[in-house]
Structure 1
Amino acid sequence: MTTSQDNADQVIVERRGNVQLIRINRPEARNALNGAVIQGIGQGVLEAENDPQLRAIVLIGTGDKAFCAGMDLKEFASGGTGAGLGSSEAGEAYQRLSRGQVSVPVVGAANATAVGGGLELLLSADLIVASSAAKFGFPEVKRGLYAAGGGTDVGTRIPLNIALELLLTGDPITAERAYQVGLVNLIAEPEQVLDAALAVAERIAANGPLGLAASKELARLAVTDHAEARRRQGELQKSVFSSADAKEGAMAFLEKRSPDWQGK
């Protein structure tokens, strides 16, 4: 395992085999998003996308109080947080993450409660492992606002009536109910959330990276733009099925060994 710490230790990025672990490290601020955190997360995403040996990302917060409290309102009020979403590569990578457009599969590890902007960040992940003690919700309407950072898209992940319950009442739901309605994939005891998320990420990382990227892109497109998904299906089938990795996958199966993926 190798470790690098950036942005004054507010984001810690660790390589765990073929998995990139990105940890928001501001427990005293409930892991709220400031410019440094946004840049740090974005940089961790860029590293994963540019390294063919990194085939999955786990995103987690530090501590047992919050996964992420959303935007740091103090820094936002002073105009500082927006700097993290500037024209830098890391800022653009963070924005792609928030739109579900990062090519590497992302596992969200909800070490604690995620509400508002924190839940919006968590929903940028493809799969979610949640602490049994966590709660999830969009309280914005209680303050005369709405979930403007992507929260209103939650109906693409769960039944519409449940999405509207979250958005219109502003009330949180438990981890158990979040699992029942399909908001999270797996529940773990609080101290086991990271291990459970890494185990899921390792299962993903064992698979072919081209197939993973294509599967993620097409599945997300099928929800939002079915016609575009059909068009991209034709393009990706040609490139993925004719790749060296496709040949390697077949040979590894015949030779009863683990494949050696090259990402090409």
Structure 2
Amino acid sequence: MNYENISIERENGIAVITINRPTKLNALNKATIEELHKAFKSENEDRSIKVIIITGSGDKAFVAGADISEFANFSIKEGGRLAAQGQEMLFDFVQNLETPVIAAVNGFALGGGLELAMSAHFRIASDNAKMGLPEVSLGVIPGYGGTQRLPQLIGKGRAMEMIMTAGMIDAPTALSYGLVNHVVPQAELLDLAKNIATKITKNSSVAIGKAIQSVNAGFEEGVNGYHTEIRAFGECFGTEDFKEGTTAFLEKRKAAFPGK
């Protein structure tokens, strides 16, 4: 599939999706969100892809925000629809993907950009990265899950401060907050992401998908995460990956998971 705003590279079971709008600092417009949805869906359905890395082109920005010109004149109804459709199409979709997603934050991750990074299963950042949710400075609030995911990741108080001040934090602060897992020089960012991804590819993709489902359940209102875990744990026993993993362990060899 040909894309205008993103590119995809695949190697050794790892897909790297790069948002490629450098003149707009990779800002998310409607077309880019639609392309990202299609790309994540396609890579998730490809059995050969075990991990997806999402990053931005250039050395300045992961995603510098949403394309404000697209919604500056929206009505209340249109604004609500924008948030609902965006969350369903991309942000919630990524969070609940069975294939693990790593956000490699290579510069500014602001507004919708930080919300996209937070939708990933975890984040690593370059040492020049800056992150923030500046929406209140425009008279609006984060609408792509930012008010929900940021407190989950860094705590209510810190999230409130970031949202209310509309300020940015640097990469070391993001690391100390637990917003990102690692900070490295920009030249080393993709190598680190691929190194972590390679470790993930050696494990059962079926089990990883069920682990993602179980962890996410603990953050969903009205859902008992423990019950989800118990059900998913039991389901693992009926998979070929479980049979291969336990057999390999008993035979003292490395498992070759079929991903079924």
Return the TM-score normalized by structure 1. 0.87
- The equivalent position to 2:99 in structure 1, one of 95, 104, 114, is 104
- How far 1:178 moved relative to its partner? 0.4
- Structure 2: gaps spanning 5 or more residues: 75-81
Once the two structures are superposed, the pairs formed by residues 150-189 of structure 1 within 5 Å of their partners are 150-153=145-148, 154-189=150-185
Q: Partner of 1:256: helix, strand, or coil?
A: coil
Q: Are the counterparts in 2 of residues 85 and 94 from structure 1 also a CA contact under 8 Å?
A: no
The answer on 1:263 being equivalent to 2:259 is: yes
- Determine the C-alpha separation between the residues in 2 that align with 1:124 and 1:95: 6
Q: Distance in 1 between matches of 2:218 and 2:91?
A: 21
Matched residue type, 2:60: K
CA RMSD of aligned residues (A): 2.6
Partner of 1:135: 130
Correspondence 1:193 to 2:164: no
Alignment of 1:85-124 (within 5 A): 94-98=90-94, 100-124=95-119
Measured in 1, the distance between the counterparts of 2:25 and 2:241 equals 42
- Aligned pair count? 254
Structure 2 vs 1, CA of residues 246 and 150 (structure 1 numbering), >3 Å: closer, same or farther? same
- TM-fit CA distance, 1:85: 9.7
Check 1:62–1:20 CA distance in 2 against 1; reply closer, same or farther (3 A cut): same
| Corresponding residue for residue 60 of structure 2 | 65
8 Å CA contact 1:7–1:36 kept in 2: the answer is: no
User: Is residue 105–residue 117 contact of structure 2 (8 Å, CA) maintained in 1?
Assistant: yes
* 1:211 matched to 2:224: no
CA offsets 1:21-49 (integer angstroms, 9 cap, x no match): 11101111100112332232222211222
Give the letter aligned to residue 104 of structure 1: T
Per-residue deviation, 1:165: 1.2
Q: How far off its partner does 1:62 sit?
A: 0.3
Deviation of residue 92 (structure 1)?
Answer: 5.9
Whole-Å separation in 1 of the counterparts to 2:53 and 2:99 = 10
Partner of 1:197: helix, strand, or coil?
Answer: helix
1:112–1:135 contact (8 Å) kept in structure 2: yes
Using the alignment, how far apart are the partners of 1:141 and 1:97 within structure 2? 25
What are the Cα deviations for residues 41-77 of structure 1, in whole angstroms up to 9, with x where unaligned? 2222112221222111100000112111222223445
Deviations 1:68-108 (A, max 9, x none): 122222344599xxxx9999xxx96525435x111111100
Residues 7 and 77 of structure 1: is their aligned pair in 2 closer, same or farther, counting only changes over 3 Å?
Answer: farther
Q: Residues 103-160 of structure 1: CA distance to partner in whole angstroms, max 9, x if unpaired? A: 1111000011111111111111111110101111111122222112111011111121
Q: Do 1:55 and 1:104's aligned partners in 2 also have CA atoms closer than 8 Å?
A: yes
- Structure-1 residue corresponding to 2:38: 43
CA distance in 1, matches of 2:11, 2:135: 36
Cα distance in 2 for partners of 1:63, 1:157 equals: 27
CA distance in 2, matches of 1:142, 1:75: 17
Change (3 A) 1:183 1:263: same
Counterpart residue identity of residue 212, structure 2: K
Q: State the Cα distance separating 1:191 from its structure 2 match.
A: 1.3
SS where residue 55 of structure 2 aligns? strand
Q: Which letter does structure 2 place at the counterpart of 1:182?
A: G
Amino acid paired to 2:158: I
Equivalent residues of 2:83, 2:144 under 8 A apart: no
- The reply to whether residue 228 of structure 1 matches residue 224 of structure 2 is yes
Output the CA distance in 2 between the equivalents of 1:257 and 1:38: 43
- Equivalent residue runs for 1:244-255 within 5 Å: 244-255=240-251
Distance in 1 (CA, whole Å) between partners of 2:139 and 2:83 is 25
Alpha-carbon shift at residue 218 of structure 1 (Å): 0.9
